């Protein structure tokens, strides 16, 4: 070897050694612990293309074919079709049918826009939105009936009685909205514009009173549907429908709640039409009348729905002893709020805030129904003490670590306490999040304010029945009337005794004159 090439030889040798060491170390890396660094899987990146909505949606008239392709029902030859499918979550999402929003200016001849002002165009857009909303509502109601109710009845997934309870009077709502849609389409001109809609709404809106029975049934319908989801056949059917394109990623309850949402939206739609209607337009007066009608209907339905909800939960309260019964619960007509909370030991409680009483219960199953067993004595709202607790202030599970840790176990607590004589209660309750906690605090404070105002009103009413007596003492109005009746009775008794002797008659006359003078003084 040449001497001048020796440095180069050493460099090449060192490089070869480094490569050999790297090759020898590479198998060892496979046996090392996996890295904790979060790496985005490649499958999620490549599946993003499937989330892009299709350009053309599947028409409603073909939903039965889509349902037939996407849903496989149990047969005698394949009894395992309804078994749980753990791989369903890993499947790529199906093409979802999306409802495109339509505008009046895009649906009809755009040349009309050159002859209309911007305000009139906005008015036509609002009227068209009302009509298009009716069309979408009818489509959803028919879909709920044909894609959910009829198949479940035909396949005996639920009984007819259970389906009638869940779907309520949904069938009767379809012709109701078809009638409004037909009226709106009849007054639409050939160019797509509509001149008058106020008189149509004034004549049609009273029909919405039929929503009373449907909305009042929703509390019981939701409870029964949640209970039936525990049946694997029901759950599997609803899951397959949810994965189908026709559902638009909406579950069955979303479809059943669409009528109520539509009912609440009517006042907003009518105000939008009125806002873009000129003051001298004939629709101005009719639209104002229509808004008053729908507001009254919605308010009345809200009251009856609240009463129905309150009665539903009162019937499902289970008392461990008669001492837990309270007239404040029996007289309640509204549930201000209710929901699941946890105490500081992690026990799940279902709390009801009625108008004048707070009831803490535990959810149990009784006779295959979800019921609520009273956990403690009911707490009157007027005597309830509310405290907003800071995060970390409550001891969790009887330990002091909650005061020094910053985990989710010690957040979103508030305390309700009550003391009356020898009876006292104190409960530290935890909400799911800060928003839910604030809702509870606001509802309890509002309930206390209403009870306080009602108490002051009762005191004022009682004071209004009291009058001042002639000597300045406070007597009730009833007592004053009784005194006057006694005085008149005594006078009549004296008159009846005039058949006695003259001495008695003179005494009687003196007595009568004195009493007459007293009566005049009293009248003055």
Helices 218-228/160-167 angle, 10° precision = 130
Q: Which helix (H) or strand (E) holds 109?
A: none
Q: How far is CA 228 from CA 83, 84, 206, 234, 342, in A?
A: 17, 16, 35, 7, 26
Inter-residue contact 147 to 254 (CB < 8 Å):
no
CA distance 450 to 361: 24
Burial class (CB in 10 A: 0-12, 13-18, 19+), 144: buried
- Asked whether residue 334 carries a pLDDT value surpassing 50, the answer given is yes
Q: Hey, what are 96's tokens?
A: 């979802």
Four-CA torsion 178, 220, 310, 424, nearest 10 degrees: -150
Average pLDDT, the chain: 75
| Nearest Cα residue to 237 out of 115, 82, 369, 97 | 82
Inter-residue contact 435 to 411 (CB < 8 Å):
no
- Give pLDDT tens digits for 104-147: 666 665 554 457 777 888 888 899 999 999 999 999 999 999 99
% of the chain residues with pLDDT over 70: 63
| Nearest Cα residue to 140 out of 282, 281, 251 | 251
Helices 283-315/252-275 angle, 10° precision = 150
| Nearest Cα residue to 277 out of 170, 197, 168, 192 | 197
- Give pLDDT tens digits for 43-82: 443 443 344 444 444 444 444 444 344 433 333 434 443 3
Beta carbons within 8 Å of 251's beta carbon, 6+ residues apart: 238, 241, 242
- Give pLDDT tens digits for 202-232: 999 999 999 999 999 999 999 999 989 989 9
Rounded (5°) CA angle 135-139-140: 120
């Amino acid at each position: 070897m040449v001497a001048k090439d020796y440095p180069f030889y050493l460099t090449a040798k060192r490089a070869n050694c480094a490569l050999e060491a790297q090759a020898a170390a590479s198998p060892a890396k496979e046996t090392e612990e996996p890295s904790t660094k979060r790496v985005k899987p490649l499958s999620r990146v490549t599946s993003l293309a499937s989330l892009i909505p299709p350009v053309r949606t599947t028409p409603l008239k073909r939903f039965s074919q889509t349902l037939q392709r996407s849903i496989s029902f149990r047969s005698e030859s394949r009894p395992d079709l309804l078994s749980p499918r753990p791989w369903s979550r890993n499947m790529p999402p199906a093409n979802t049918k999306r409802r495109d929003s339509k505008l009046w200016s895009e649906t009809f001849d755009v040349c009309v826009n050159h002859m209309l002002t911007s305000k009139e165009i906005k008015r036509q857009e609002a009227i068209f939105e009302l009509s298009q909303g009716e069309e979408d509502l009818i489509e959803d109601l028919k879909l709920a009936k044909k894609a959910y109710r009829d198949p479940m009845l035909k396949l005996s997934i639920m009984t007819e009685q259970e389906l009638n309870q869940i779907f309520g009077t949904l069938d009767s709502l379809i012709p109701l909205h078809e009638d409004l849609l037909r009226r709106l389409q009849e007054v639409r001109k050939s160019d797509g514009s509509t001149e008058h809609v106020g008189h149509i709404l004034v004549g049609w809106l009273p029909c919405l009173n039929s929503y009373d029975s449907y909305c009042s049934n929703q509390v019981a319908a939701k409870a029964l549907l949640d209970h039936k989801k525990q049946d694997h056949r029901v759950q599997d059917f609803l899951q397959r429908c949810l994965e189908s394109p026709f559902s638009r990623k909406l579950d069955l309850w979303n479809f059943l709640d669409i009528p109520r949402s539509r009912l609440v939206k009517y006042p907003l739609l009518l105000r939008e039409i009125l806002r873009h209607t000129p003051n001298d337009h004939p629709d101005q007066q009719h639209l104002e009348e229509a808004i008053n009608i729908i507001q009254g209907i919605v308010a009345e339905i809200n009251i009856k729905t609240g009463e129905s909800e309150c009665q539903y939960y009162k019937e499902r309260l289970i008392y461990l002893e008669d001492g837990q019964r309270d007239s404040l619960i029996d007289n309640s007509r509204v549930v201000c709020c209710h929901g699941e909370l946890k105490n500081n030991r992690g026990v799940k409680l279902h709390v009801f805030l009625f108008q004048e009483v707070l009831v803490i219960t535990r959810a149990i199953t009784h006779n295959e129904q979800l019921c609520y067993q009273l956990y403690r004595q009911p707490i009157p709202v007027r005597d309830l003490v509310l405290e907003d607790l800071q995060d970390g202030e409550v001891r969790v599970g009887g330990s002091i670590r909650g005061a020094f840790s910053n985990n989710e176990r010690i957040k979103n607590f508030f305390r309700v306490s009550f003391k009356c004589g020898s009876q006292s209660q104190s409960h530290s309750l935890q909400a799911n999040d800060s928003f839910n906690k604030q809702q509870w605090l606001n509802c309890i404070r509002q309930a206390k304010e209403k009870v306080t105002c009602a108490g002051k009103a009762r005191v004022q009413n009682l004071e209004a029945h009291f009058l001042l007596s002639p000597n300045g003492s406070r007597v009730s109005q009833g007592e004053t009337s009784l005194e006057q009746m006694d005085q008149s009775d005594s006078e009549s008794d004296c008159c009846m005794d005039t058949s006695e002797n003259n001495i008695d008659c003179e005494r009687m006359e003196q007595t009568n004159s004195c009493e007459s003078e007293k009566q005049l003084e009293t009248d003055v």
